[in-house]
Chain A
């Protein structure tokens, strides 16, 4: 279980006064209450995608303008009130988990698309626009926004920026950080700062790069300028099934080694294949130990050429079966299982933890073997889904939330997997962020001094440590200015 810092008694004592001040900044409007502070209405905000942890905040504020966000932060900074930013609350690492004495600033009402420029290929959107909402707004013109996290129907671009979200297609198109041009950033002092612009590589320090993926530690983002790309003529997928993780991994290496960078290259192990097939009836090979989904782009002739090359490569690794989609519909069927993976696992297990580590791809067979051994040791099932091209592994650990011991084992199992990822040369998180979930493992990847250096950068932005405190950094070793006393365990 993850420990949280004690609430500041002086803040709790002044709660009514604080709520009144927040209401003065964000009054009720046509969209509803500007500030939520009654227990029943706070309920939906007490957790996020890491649903095992719950904590109602002091209040939730739902601003509609950058000026309101600036006034809220300036007020909280003046009063020493902690702030937890929230988009759609889809974080799987607990990035939006409240604290009892914190004000949650929810960005969902800032959901306007402000500008779309096809000639210069950018869009300016407010932080509460959903990821898919950007693509929907530009797809009629043949354009799209590239990063595509699995939660893209719900998750918001502001949250994507804060977590530097990825997705299945980032092997070719990069993650969020590679697809941003500018931000409207609000500091804890309430200063509104334009970062970057509508063009790449502004001169000066790379604030855009530092803020992206900072998990709400440095400030809030209210507007985002994203690069939009013209989509390819078409895309098509194929399946290749193998009788072992090792040979499937070798096939991945051989594809990359041949000079082909597929737009997506996904790996599923046997439990994942079975869970997804039972759910989606996608025609997945149930006799396989491992399966690859490989997608290529271009004209039909280009797709044919590329898929033929990939089929020839896979054929060298004794595949059990291969299936090339003959149409967009067949491609969609192949993807249906993968995209429904989380729901599929949810059907066979009452609860699961979705882990997110990255490993060097050559370490895949060893890593999966070790995870299999741990699965037996912990007595918990695991299904592995892997963005194979870039080494991002998503083990889904199945447990029963009604059985306290099962949850404790699942968390330990997850932590062991992430330690293993670091051990083989990888990292704790590829795209979900540290949040509270991996906070206490940061010492596995970084030395104490490295963490101190990162903390010093946070302090440069947020001297009082009011912004999303208790996330990312282990609570031991915080600077005195963070003022985060903890009761003894």
Chain B
């Protein structure tokens, strides 16, 4: 890339897009670039960053609504919410350690990648809480979708289309989120299990209980004094409810121990950020989403390290970054009707292989027309999600 632009405002982003359109030069769209290693390397002459667009523009705690410019760092938003006892519902991960980035993720980057943490299983994904966006399309037009109210079905939902589109359809400049009160207490019931499959059965029993489990993961290699795989069920609520519900859950599982408050919070932050996966610096990381009962089987497909979240349905794998390993993951995903993402890998590997599932041909045709409708000059993040797309 011959340089990266970081305009200070939305008009600057629009102007940069118009200039790129006039020059016919594609753009690598990013926030802080903290997840530049995700999916495929972008083939673009220049970078265009939203990191200059910062600041919370609206926050109404009683209305559960927060708007911020796309370049606002996530920690700044979390801090503002914490002042009012609220939090980001989807618990998005801090991927600095995974991608070796010094800079934190921006709001735009987290929404564009639709990354959600453990709470997703109970409370929904990042995209579920996007109420409205302002964005710049490939013709340099500033457009809006959604709004700043919690319920809104007016017109086609471009918010969801843009969330998870990895900057390939439009550049979000401002995002409005639904937020919620942060729970008063957090605690975790930890259950030693024989293997991952038994762990998933424990998670399934926990999620099938009436106690409102808000995190359900299997640690592959123990927790403190507990050896071997450990199934974890988190309860977040008011203090009396957490005590009562954890007690009821623990009674269901022999050998269960309780992990309380600070330790519980730290544990789930670590799971959110893939700490327990223990991926070595040079290893590749895969992310699979499947029906939970397929999780243990998928976790074994490489014989390497695995971390199960979302009741067993979110499978993280770490192993040698080789095309052979990737083909194994793809085959296992295919067999289990799972969704796969090559989450982290050296550039050479992620440029050489499909990093996400192929789209059925009729859907790919619609996708090409959608791309043409939003980004007719094919300027935004070429090659990010799929080769040639």
Interface check A178, CB cutoff 8 A: yes
- B62, A361: Cβ atoms closer than 8 Å: yes
* Residue A200 is within 8 A (CB to CB) of chain B in the complex: yes
A63 within 8 A of partner (CB): no
A472 touches B155 (CB 8 A): yes
Query: Is residue A10 within 8 Å, beta carbon to beta carbon, of the partner chain?
Result: no
Q: Is the CB of A203 within 8 A of B181?
A: no
A430: which B residues are within 8 A, CB to CB? 149, 151-153
Q: How far is the CB of A231 from chain B (nearest CB, A)?
A: 6
| CB atoms of A200 and B310 under 8 A apart | yes
Cβ-based interface call for B160 (8 A):
yes
B341 proximal to A (CB < 8 A): yes
List which A319-368 residues lie within 8 A (CB) of chain B: 358-362
Interface residues of B in 144-167 (CB under 8 A from A): 144-145, 147-161, 163-165
Q: Across the interface, do A359 and B156 meet the contact criterion of CB distance under 8 Å?
A: no
Interface size counted on chain A using CB atoms at 8 A: 96
Query: Smallest CB–CB gap between B227 and chain A, Å?
Result: 27
Cβ of A384 within 8 Å of any chain B Cβ, yes or no, is no
- Asked whether, in the complex, the Cβ of B291 is within 8 Å of the Cβ of A204, the reply is no
CB distance from B388 to the nearest CB of A (A): 15
Chain A's nearest CB lies how many Å from the CB of B39?
A: 9
Q: How far is the CA of A233 from the CA of B249 in the complex (A)?
A: 13
| Residue B54 interfacial (CB < 8 Å) | no
User: Do A359 and B210 have beta carbons less than 8 Å apart?
Assistant: no
- Contacting residues, chain A, for B155 (C-beta < 8 A): 434, 442, 445-446, 451, 454, 472
- With contacts A121-B208, A202-B357, A206-B164 taken as known, whether A170 is within 8 angstroms of B151 at the C-beta atoms is yes
Contact between B61 and A257 (Cβ–Cβ < 8 Å)?
yes
A472→B157 CA distance, assembly (Å) = 12
B316 within 8 A of A: no
Q: Which of A119, A257, A391 has the most CB of B within 10 A?
A: A119
Q: Which of the residues A171, A208, A258, A427 comes within 8 Å of B154, measured between beta carbons?
A: A427
Question: Does A64 lie at the interface of the complex (its beta carbon under 8 Å from any beta carbon of B)?
Answer: no
Q: How many residues of B contact A (CB 8 A)?
A: 81
User: What sequence of 0s and 1s flags, for each residue 367-402 of chain A, a beta carbon within 8 Å of any chain B beta carbon?
Assistant: 000000000000000000001011110000000000
Q: Which residues of A, 256-301, contact B by the 8 Å Cβ criterion?
A: 256-261, 298-299, 301
Contact A199-B313, Cβ < 8 Å, known A120-B293, A187-B366, A259-B85: yes
Name the contact of A206 in the complex, choosing from B65, B161, B207, B372 (C-beta under 8 A): B161
Using known A-B contacts A187-B362, A197-B337, A213-B153, determine if residue A205 contacts B165 with beta carbons closer than 8 Å.
Answer: yes
A-B contact count (CB 8 A): 256
For residue B182, which residues in chain A have a CB less than 8 angstroms away from its CB? 259
Q: Identify which of B141, B148, B338, B360 contacts A193 (C-beta below 8 A).
A: B360
B380 at interface (Cβ–Cβ under 8 A)? Answer: no
Q: Is there an interface contact between B373 and A457, defined as CB atoms closer than 8 Å?
A: yes
Tell me how far the C-beta of A220 lies from the nearest C-beta in chain B, rounded to whole angstroms. Answer: 14
- B180 at the A/B interface (Cβ < 8 Å)? yes
Interface string of A198-235 (1 = CB under 8 A from B): 11111111111110111001000000000000111100
Bound Cα distance from A272 to B337, whole angstroms: 50
**Are A209 and B163 neighbours in the complex by a CB distance under 8 Å?**
yes
Contact present for A460 and B289 (CB under 8 Å): no
Given A199-B289, A202-B289, A429-B152: A177 in contact with B64 (beta carbons within 8 A) = no
Closest 5 CB pairs of A and B: A209-B160, A460-B369, A191-B362, A259-B181, A430-B151
Q: List 27 A-B contacts (CB under 8 A).
A: A119-B201, A199-B339, A202-B339, A202-B357, A203-B340, A203-B357, A204-B357, A206-B160, A206-B165, A207-B363, A209-B163, A210-B161, A253-B62, A256-B64, A259-B85, A259-B238, A302-B244, A358-B149, A358-B151, A360-B149, A361-B62, A438-B154, A445-B147, A447-B144, A450-B144, A453-B373, A457-B373
Chain B contacts to A: CB under 8 angstroms: 60-65, 85, 114, 116, 120, 124-125, 127-128, 137, 141, 143-145, 147-161, 163-165, 169, 180-184, 201, 204, 207-210, 212, 238, 240-241, 244, 289-293, 310-311, 313, 337-341, 356-357, 359-360, 362-363, 366-367, 369-370, 372-374, 385
